């Protein structure tokens, strides 16, 4: 075999190895029932904050807070996050959490918030002024 053929085979094998590694890291969106069925496995759940359920006391532990979240199937579970409470958490339209189930509690290792549009309040005010 020529050197170029050997180098090409090595590059192809490395590319296949990288693709296989990347396929193992893709998470699928699920709900709390699916996360509970496969304990220990990482899941990404999308849902909404249940108002009035956030518990955060920075004097006790600034890097931990909990809340109740309702997933897209309507199932409510307590979520514990080992991060500080995000600013405007209560105003978020949607929450995406990544983590795992432990007993009946979802342990969030990562969280992203979908904040309300900054133009939403302005659009409401404009429509009120137009109706006058």
Q: Is residue 18, in this structure, part of any structural domain at all? A: no
The whole domain housing 105 covers 28-117
Instruction: Please report, for the domain that includes residue 94, its CATH number.
Output: 2.40.50.140
- Specify whether the CB–CB gap between 76 and 48 falls below 8 A: no
In a domain, 7, yes or no: no
Q: What global pTM score does this model have?
A: 0.67
| 79 — pLDDT class (breaks 50, 70, 90) | very high
Q: DSSP character for 91?
A: G
| Residue 126 within any structural domain of the chain | no
93 assigned to some structural domain: yes
Contact criterion met (CB below 8 Å) for 93 and 69:
no
pLDDT in tens, 60-70: 888 889 999 99
> What's the structural domain count of the chain?
1
Instruction: Of 54, 51, 89, 48, give the one whose Cα is nearest residue 72.
Output: 48
Q: Give me the DSSP letters along 44-58.
A: EEEEEE-TT--B--T
Q: What is the pLDDT of residue 80?
A: 94
């Amino acid at each position: 075999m020529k050197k170029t053929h050997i180098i090409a085979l090595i590059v192809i094998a490395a590319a296949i190895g990288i693709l296989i590694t990347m396929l193992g890291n893709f998470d699928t969106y699920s709900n709390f029932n699916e996360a509970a069925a496969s304990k220990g496995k990482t899941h990404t759940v999308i849902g909404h904050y249940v108002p009035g359920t956030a518990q955060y006391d920075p004097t006790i532990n600034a890097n931990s807070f909990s809340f109740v979240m309702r997933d897209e199937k309507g199932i409510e579970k307590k979520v514990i996050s080992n991060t500080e409470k995000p600013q405007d958490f209560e105003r978020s339209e949607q929450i995406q959490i990544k983590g795992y189930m432990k007993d009946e509690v979802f342990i969030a290792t990562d969280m992203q918030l979908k904040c309300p549009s900054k133009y939403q309040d302005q659009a409401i005010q404009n429509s009120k002024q137009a109706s006058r």
